[in-house]
């Protein structure tokens, strides 16, 4: 059994941020990661991916992006930044080590992996809100004659040139994949089941997330009321494009549903020009024909399902009821924050950007652990 003061499960952005913050507090930690490298989700994402949040508010604690990095860093630039961050803070995760079971035993957390058992006073769950692709389960999917993949397996549109491709979903990944497909010669369509909110990535040259920072101090409904006229002016009427508008705005969507609205980087323009078609949700699949909920039927060569991820893993199975839902709330509103030495970093969806939220939460978590350590619950020394 390996003993440590704090165990961090996950070595993507939340895990690296947590490690650096604990290090600054002089608290011993170990990081375990199921993949062979850190920030594995970013390494595996589709090639065209860029951050949809500007770099000023998308840095991890204690390290800014270099001056040569553009406002919206690419996937490769983000990976380079994370690698430099890991090196600068001398963070050395134990790779190929997946937590299969986590249990509270006495005053400690016992984490089981295939090869080792870790015992820690404190536990930081950092596997994130996007750790596990949701399963594909379209009615009649087994009859489809083309390819069906989850968006996590999609890399580039180059292999889809000349093909009719249906992207299921209207999140940020779905819409950027649709652009990528169009740019590489495919004929993309979007299957959009639910009402949506859309916000432009920039308004008059200003990143919309900077505006969101100002509005985030208001109640969500008020923030939506303030921003609605400007959004209408910039985006126009999206219902004319075959999309259904949500009955409430983007701030309330994040607060109520823990889901990010579309940060538009050009998809709406492509829809207006007819480059990307919009259909309703899938009813069922019959051979190479997709039958939509409004009665339309269209033939497709491939389906890419950008249907999202689940944050829950088998390692969380033993947590008391309410801990997972609690992890989605702001730290100061969490009922269980730090209870029994358990913390969550990277599970909260915020209007001001995922990485910014991770950065701020990691610092608060490390400070919370430091307070407990200073109270004498365990002796501390640097990792």
352-379 mean pLDDT: 87
pLDDT per position as a tens digit, 135-149: 888 999 999 999 999
Q: Return the pLDDT at 377.
A: 53
Residues 6+ apart with CB under 8 A from 335: 322, 326
Q: Return the pLDDT at 371.
A: 94
Beta strands per DSSP E along the chain: 2-9, 29-32, 101-105, 108-112, 117-125, 132-133, 147-150, 164-168, 187-191, 198-200, 202-203, 206-207, 262-264, 277-279, 282-286, 289-292, 297-299, 302-305, 309-310, 342-344
Q: Return the pLDDT at 380.
A: 39
Contact 197, 249 (CB under 8 A): yes
Q: Return the pLDDT at 259.
A: 83
What is the C-alpha to C-alpha distance for residues 10 and 124, in angstroms, rounded to an integer?
A: 9
Question: Residue 218 carries which DSSP code?
Answer: S
R_g of the chain computed on alpha carbons: 22
204-215 mean pLDDT: 84
| pLDDT score of 134 more than 80 | yes
Q: Return the pLDDT at 203.
A: 86
Tell me whether domains 2-131+311-374 and 134-305 share a fold.
Answer: yes
Ordered by start, the domain boundaries in the chain are 2-131+311-374, 134-305
Please indicate whether residue 243 or residue 135 has the higher confidence score (pLDDT).
243
Helix H or strand E segment including 68? none
Q: Return the pLDDT at 208.
A: 82
Please indicate whether residue 220 or residue 163 has the higher confidence score (pLDDT).
163
Contact 302, 147 (CB under 8 A): yes
pLDDT per position as a tens digit, 300-312: 999 999 988 776 6
| pLDDT score of 112 more than 90 | yes
pLDDT-based confidence at residue 383 (cuts at 50, 70, 90): very low
pLDDT per position as a tens digit, 286-301: 999 999 999 999 999 9
* Neighbour-count burial for 183-197, b at 16+ CB within 10 Å, e otherwise: eeebbbbbbbbeebb
| pLDDT score of 12 more than 50 | yes
Q: Return the pLDDT at 131.
A: 66
Token reading at 336: 């269980």
The pTM is what? 0.88
What is the C-alpha to C-alpha distance for residues 101 and 317, in angstroms, rounded to an integer?
A: 8
What's the topology of domain 2-131+311-374?
FAD/NAD(P)-binding domain (3.50.50)
Q: What is the distance of C-alpha 238 from the center of its chain?
A: 25
| pLDDT score of 97 more than 80 | yes
CATH 2.20.25.90 for domain 134-305: no
Of the listed ranges 119-123, 125-129, 154-158, 281-285, the one predicted with least confidence: 125-129
| pLDDT score of 10 more than 50 | yes
pLDDT per position as a tens digit, 251-284: 999 888 878 899 999 999 999 999 999 999 999 9
């Amino acid at each position: 059994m390996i003993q440590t003061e704090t165990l961090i499960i996950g070595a993507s952005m939340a895990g690296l941020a947590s490690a650096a913050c604990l290090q600054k507090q002089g608290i011993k930690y170990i990081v375990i990661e199921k993949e062979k490298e850190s920030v594995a989700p970013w390494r595996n994402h589709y090639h065209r991916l860029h951050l949809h949040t500007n770099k000023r508010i998308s840095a991890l604690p204690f390290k800014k992006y270099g001056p040569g990095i553009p406002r919206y860093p690419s996937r490769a630039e983000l990976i380079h930044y994370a690698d430099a961050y890991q090196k600068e803070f001398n963070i050395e995760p134990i790779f190929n080590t997946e937590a299969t079971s986590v249990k509270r035993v006495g005053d400690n957390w016992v984490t089981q992996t295939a090869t080792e058992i870790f015992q820690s006073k404190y536990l930081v769950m950092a596997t994130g809100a996007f750790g596990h692709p949701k399963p594909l389960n379209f009615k009649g999917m087994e009859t489809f004659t083309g390819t069906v993949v989850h968006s996590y397996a999609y890399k580039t549109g180059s292999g889809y040139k000349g093909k009719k491709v249906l992207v299921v979903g209207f999140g940020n990944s779905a819409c950027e994949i649709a652009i990528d497909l169009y740019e590489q010669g495919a004929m993309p369509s979007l299957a959009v089941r639910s009402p949506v909110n859309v916000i432009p990535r920039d308004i008059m040259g200003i990143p919309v997330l900077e505006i969101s920072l100002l509005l985030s101090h208001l109640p969500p409904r008020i923030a939506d009321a303030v921003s609605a006229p400007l959004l209408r002016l910039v985006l126009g009427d999206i219902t004319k494009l075959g999309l259904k508008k949500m009955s409430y705005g983007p701030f309330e969507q994040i607060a109520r549903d823990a889901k990010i609205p579309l940060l538009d980087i050009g998809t709406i323009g492509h829809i207006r020009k007819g480059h990307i078609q919009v259909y309703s949700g899938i009813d069922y699949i019959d051979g190479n024909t997709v039958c939509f909920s409004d009665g339309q039927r269209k033939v497709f060569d491939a389906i890419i399902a950008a249907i999202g991820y689940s944050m829950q893993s088998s390692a969380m199975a033993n947590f008391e009821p309410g801990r997972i839902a609690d992890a989605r709330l702001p730290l100061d509103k969490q009922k269980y924050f730090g209870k029994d030495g358990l913390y969550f970093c990277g599970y909260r969806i915020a209007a001001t950007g995922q990485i910014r939220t991770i950065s701020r939460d990691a610092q608060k978590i490390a400070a919370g652990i430091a307070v407990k350590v200073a109270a004498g619950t365990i002796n501390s020394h640097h990792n």
